[in-house]
Amino acid sequence: MSKPKVVVTGLGAIAPNGNNVDTFWLALLAGKSGIDHIKSYDTTDHSVTIAGEVKNFNYEDHIDRKTVRKLDRFAIFALVAAEEAVKNAKLDSSWLDPDKIGVILGSGVGGVATLVEQQNVLQDRGPKRVSPHFVPKMIANIAAGHIAIRWNFKGPNQTIVSACASATDAIGIALRLIQAGDADVIVAGGSEASVLPLTIAGFANMRALSTRNDDPQAASRPFDLDRDGFILSEGSGILVIETERHALARNAPILAELAGYGATDDAYHVTQPSEGGAGGAKAMQKAIANAGLKPEDISYVNAHGTSTPHNDKNESKAIRSVFGDYADKLKVSSTKSMTGHLLGASGAVEAIASVKSIQKQIAPPTINYQTPDPECDLDYIPNKAQSFEINSAMSNSFGFGGHNGVLVFKKYTNNN
């Protein structure tokens, strides 16, 4: 029995360089960074004082004040991005079957801001002052739950936690659920809001973050010889995916085909990728095969590209091992050079960038690329967006714990 074709019909995004899909996409094409000095707390005594914070975002423009008090920032981002995606997909459960509409999200740390806040309340004011909203604000699955409640989506509802691969895995698992017949439509993606003194200090002390504090917008420099770490960021990306048949029946806008998904684990080290990126390479091979493609069919790779010494060289080696001689013709870029690293949400905003690249036949650049690294020897679309034929795009996500998730999108063609 052949698998149903699955298509993307809606997109929603909140990122450090854009609070909706159009603004985010135009910022990527313009090479505009959303990384800046941290404004949400006093960074005195911190070795890292820069991050990718969402800017000019007022909760109450989207959600009533009473509800906002019951939500962690990561859940608010997810709800607002979902609102954009659902609207753009023309998705209305009042006349569709709500039992066949699901929600699968990814988040690396969920409501960590609420956890920190309420721990401080407990310590300073005692157990009786801990908020009764603490648990339902904090737990990572709550964003998916709120989306289901908001739109009456009663299908499969899960939250995936696989570090920086969380959103990619969520989208991939959503693809599998639709292909299995468990849902006609799934709202899938990820959300993260972890720019906090505790998380910044933790990542900084393990030497994972860039310390280029004097020049924030030049700090994220994937594949560049002078890269010195990633930039912690926040935001959300949401995609609406559904069977082609369902989308055509309801006259939905079809943006691209979600054609393939591959996942592996390095089983090597808790934070570093396996040597040569072997696990990531296997995930890429699985995704390409799952899409029914050959490596040379891929036009563009939105790389994980974190701007860390280990990831970038190993991802480059992995890409070269998968694509062989064709790797010299392949276009690769890291949009983390402009967004920073959204942890569990990164794969979703990068999936959106991949879909838009196919739609618009132009790929965003890797900005801040100045000094080539001999160990990173691919075409990284340096500093300026490039137009070329993009029939298929691949999006890579690799996370702590050795998690590897890869998605493949194709230009949509109606063969009916």
Task: Check if 341 is active-site.
Answer: yes
Which two three-digit tokens encode residue 6?
A: 């699955």
User: 346 Cβ partners below 8 Å, 6+ apart?
Assistant: 164, 167, 190, 192, 304, 336, 339, 397
Three-state secondary structure call for residue 261? strand
Angle between helices 346-360 and 21-30 (to 10 degrees): 80
For residues 352 and 339, the answer to whether their CB atoms sit within 8 Å is no
- The count of C-alpha atoms lying within 13 angstroms of the C-alpha of 42, restricted to the half-sphere facing its C-beta, is 2
Length of the chain: 416
Which CA distances in Å does 250 have to 9, 10, 72, 135, 153?
11, 13, 34, 38, 17
Sign of the torsion formed by the C-alpha atoms of 240, 358, 398 and 173: positive
Which residue is it, tokens 């900084």? 204
Task: Check if 304 is active-site.
Answer: yes
Q: Which of 37, 62, 146, 164 is catalytic?
A: 164
Task: Check if 146 is active-site.
Answer: no
Q: Which of 37, 46, 246, 304 is catalytic?
A: 304
For residues 308 and 210, the answer to whether their CB atoms sit within 8 Å is no
Which two three-digit tokens encode residue 315?
A: 């991802």
Q: Which of 146, 341, 376, 403 is catalytic?
A: 341
For residues 399 and 166, the answer to whether their CB atoms sit within 8 Å is yes
From the list 344, 324, 348, the residue with the least C-alpha distance to 335 is 348
Residues carrying an active site annotation? 164, 304, 341
